Amino acid sequence: MEYCPPVMAFAAATCFAWVRREAMKQHAFGFLQESSFDGVGVPLRVVRKAETVLTRRTSRLTIVIERSTNSQNYTAVLRTAEALGVQHVWLISPPGWRQNNYKRKKDRFKDDDEEWEHHVAYAKQAQKWLTIRVFRTSRECVEALRKESHTIWCTDLSQRAEVLPRIATERFPEGRLALVIGTESTGATEFMLKSADKRVYINLHGFADSLNLSVAAALSIYHIFMIYPEIVGAMENEERSKLRLQWYTTLARNANERELYPKLAKNPPKPFVDLRRCDAHRVGYVSPKDRKKNAEAGFASGIGK
């Protein structure tokens, strides 16, 4: 059968719209049980939420951050990738800074080996729900990507890059797709650009011709999920089972849960239909001083009121 992107996109959009309407109807008329959503007192709510996340995780899209030099951008991209359902994030270490020390009265950084150890330690602690790999060089990363059957797309601001389309104009790559995000100032390295199967660009419409690294990463990841919805939840059962046991064990907070949760990993509970928390679980801490100021200014203190 000939691949026809516009027809398939229209069919998918129509299907999603119907599913959403039916879900809204059922919820409105009470056909969905209350426990289908997160709420106060829902049994096993923590592991059910974990199971919901797990059913939506994908291993077919890998995010590669190449030599970012800003820890806040690292954190933002990791958080975004996790929130959107990406499981695998690979980090390429930024270059050592020792060569620039001669310009300073004091060494800002120690030698490369110590910086590498610090970088690895930061990466491993940055996000406990992700599978993170760290590489010293772009060459090592590309070799690993090819070994694991990745097609490489690299973000690029040059006119040689292809604009990411609004609908899929080709099938999702066989195997896995790696989306490479370059460094803040100069983008991806020349080696990575030459190694990429495709250079991609987010179409912009303003005077600003570039975006913050973490913003560009967020838009690119979201865009790929929008044009390729079939990769949501695409993960081998073996990997999913390993993550389930790992996550359930991590979520256990007392002796009873440490005994129960690993058993549940073998027979997991039903996931929620939605990942949003109820209002009672979205109330953050506000100090008495700030609460008083908010009240005097007429600001609301709750969420979802």
Cα–Cα distance between 242 and 249 in angstroms, integer?
11
**Maximum CA pair distance of the chain?**
71
Cα–Cα distance between 305 and 294 in angstroms, integer?
15
User: Within 156-284, where are the H helices?
Assistant: 190-195, 213-227, 237-251, 255-264
pTM metric for this prediction = 0.77
Phi-psi region of 193 (alpha: psi -120 to 50; beta: other; left: phi over 0): alpha
**Taking the domains of the chain in order of start, what are their residue ranges?**
5-50+237-280, 58-98+108-231
Q: Which residue has the higher pLDDT, 15 or 146?
A: 146
Cα–Cα distance between 75 and 65 in angstroms, integer?
11
Residue-wise pLDDT for 191-249, tens only, equals 999 999 999 999 999 998 888 899 999 999 999 999 999 999 999 999 999 999 999 99
Residue-wise pLDDT for 21-53, tens only, equals 555 544 444 434 447 888 888 999 999 999 999
Rg (CA), the chain: 22
The two structure tokens encoding residue 206? 């303003």
pLDDT higher than 80, residue 8: no
Question: What is the SS3 assignment for 146?
Answer: helix
Residue 124's pLDDT is what? 55
Mean pLDDT of 53-69: 93
Residue-wise pLDDT for 84-116, tens only, equals 999 999 999 865 434 444 444 444 444 445 555
CATH number for the 58-98+108-231 domain, one of 3.30.1050.10, 3.40.1160.10, 3.40.50.300, 3.40.1280.10? 3.40.1280.10
- Mean confidence (pLDDT) of the chain: 82
Residue-wise pLDDT for 178-198, tens only, equals 999 988 878 899 999 999 999
pLDDT higher than 80, residue 156: yes
- 17-56 burial: b if 16+ Cβ within 10 Å, else e: eeeeeeeeeeeeeeebeeebbbeeebebbbbbbbbbbbee
Highest mean pLDDT among 48-62, 84-98, 125-139, 159-173: 48-62
